[in-house]
Homo-oligomer: A and B are copies of this chain.
Amino acid sequence: MRYSYSFRPIRTLFLCLSAFFTLTVSAQTDEDAFFIRSVYDQALSHGQAYPWLYHLSTDIGGRLAGSPEASAAVDYTRQMLDTMGLDSVYLQACEVPRWVRGEKEVVRVATSAMGSYDLNAVALGNSVGTGIDGVSAPVVEVKNFDELDALGNQGKVKGKIVFFNRPMDPNQINTFAAYGGAVDQRVYGASKAAKHGALAVVVRSMTNKRDDVPHTGTLAYEEGVRKIAAVAISTNDSDQLSRLLRLGEVRVYVRTTCQMLSPVTSYNVIGEIRGSEYPDEIILVGGHLDSWDIGHGAHDDGAGCVQAMDVLQLLSALDYKPKRTLRCVLFMNEENGLAGGRAYWAASNEAEEFHMAAIESDRGGFTPRGFTVDGHEEIFKPKYRQVTEWLPLLEPYGLSFSTGGSGADISGLKDQKGLLFGFKPDSQRYFDFHHTAEDTIDAVNRRELHLGSAAMTSLVYLLDKYGLE
């Protein structure tokens, strides 16, 4: 397009304001609309999230729990919070697993028809290695655990390498729903296959994109089941392997040298502004500081961390003095253990704290669409109704509320009976980068990231000003 469009933002604002005055009976005033507008102005012109993220992803890099990079990220973010004039900035210790990937993974196909060639592969997080000799065996492809069990019960899995190849459903509009419908293969596939005597598993990468980029992510071994090695291969390689299998037997050689070392101490990074009137009512904003070792964890979840930090920075810049305690928490070890989250919940419950609300950003730094809302069933309905009354203030910025899970790191706060929010950006591109070497700063758009900071800050402002009854 060139220059012939007309836009009517002012008129839209008036329509929204009049809708808001008509529809709501709470004490909201146009003061709120103007404050939220100033939050967006501040974020778009002076947001700090992007430069922080640039350092975190480009200068520090991938930050797997227990790694030197994770320690560097703890130091860096603590220093940044220290510059912000908060009431307190501190670290909270937690014991994290120390998993290391080892040498570059080898997944090699050997067929009579096509000869031998390597696939684009990465070991799954927390996976055991195959040992330096690797494992070689014929492949059996399955789409789900029912197929696996049926083959296993016929003795057709024993001594084999199992290939889990159910794609994410491309027809889901929300890609997280598609991810949720496929990720059981990655998380539980190894133990399910091991029970039938499999030697290793190969999993189709969790993405809708057809490309050569493998996606890692954690697995969970079932207690008492033999641990076998697990790798993810790219979607293009998955499609090709599946085609080969239709022609006849395919042997695959898998070699990984990853291992789980002894746990080490790491930290959640916390900064807070103490509330002036209700300091015991905590509003948490957070993300997780650790990331996978491949890539730079820019979207997952550097974006969430710097947005949470930006909430405090923006409110400070606007000279806003909160009535309630605002706490920014950068959790450690979300990706392969959740040790930071668990340590935080335990300490919070021990101190008899009350999180009136918690917001986690862990779905990437894309254009905001709103928030998912979750909470204990005893309190959920009336509190959810209360936040939806704020919609006229948030809809002009493209934000809405929907019910749904919040975030792994804050999920354990549900019993405190506050409301839990998951920041919800546009989901279409997230799984193009998620858990890959391509999750770098290049994949993040500055404006989109800062609109997320502004969306979270606006919600925090409303929560702080009006509380939740």
Contacts and interface: CB of A to CB of B under 8 A. Distances in A.
Interface string A377-410: 0000000000000000000111000111101100
A40 B428 contact: no
A154 interface: no
A45 B2 contact: no
Contacts of A45: 170-171
A176 B405 contact: no
A4 interface: yes
Interface in A410-451: 411, 422, 426, 428-429, 432, 445-448, 451
A1 B208 contact: no
Given A208-B447, A397-B173, A426-B426, A405 B6 contact: yes
A300 interface: yes
Contact of A408 (B2, B217, B218, B396): B2
Interface in A209-261: 209, 217-218
Interface string A110-137: 0000000000000000000000000000
Looking at A179, A336, A422, the one whose CB has the most chain B CB atoms below 10 A away is A179
B173 A2 contact: no
Contacts of A432: 445
A3 B180 contact: yes
A172 interface: yes
Contact of A1 (B171, B334, B402): B334
Contacts of A7: 174, 176-177, 180, 404-405
Interface in A178-219: 179-180, 183, 186-187, 208-209, 217-218
B172 A4 contact: no
Nearest to A304: B1
B447 A4 contact: no
Interface stretch (A61-69, A86-94, A361-369): A361-369
Nearest to A408: B4
B173 A451 contact: yes
A170 B448 CA distance: 12
A8 B426 CA distance: 17
Interface of A: 1-9, 11-12, 40-41, 44-45, 170-177, 179-180, 183, 186-187, 208-209, 217-218, 300-301, 334-336, 362-363, 367, 369, 372, 396-398, 402-405, 407-408, 411, 422, 426, 428-429, 432, 445-448, 451
A336 B301 CA distance: 43
Contacts of A176: 5, 7
A110 B428 CA distance: 46
Contacts of A4: 405, 408, 411
A429 B448 contact: yes
Given A5-B408, A428-B451, 12 more contacts: A1-B334, A2-B334, A2-B335, A3-B180, A3-B187, A5-B422, A6-B180, A7-B176, A7-B180, A7-B405, A173-B451, A175-B447
Number of copies: 2
B218 A180 contact: no
Contact of A405 (B5, B11, B186): B5
A408 B208 CA distance: 35
B5 A402 contact: no
A2 B341 CA distance: 13
A40 B428 CA distance: 14
8 contacts: A1-B408, A3-B217, A5-B408, A6-B405, A7-B405, A426-B426, A428-B447, A429-B445
Nearest to A175: B447
A448 B11 CA distance: 29
A218 B180 CA distance: 47
Given A40-B171, A171-B45, A429-B445, A404 B217 contact: no
B171 A41 contact: yes
Contacts of A179: 3
Contacts of A183: 3
B367 A428 contact: yes
Nearest to A374: B6
A9 B171 contact: no
A367 B367 CA distance: 10
A177 B404 CA distance: 33
Contacts of A429: 445, 448
A153 to B, nearest CB: 27
B180 A404 contact: no
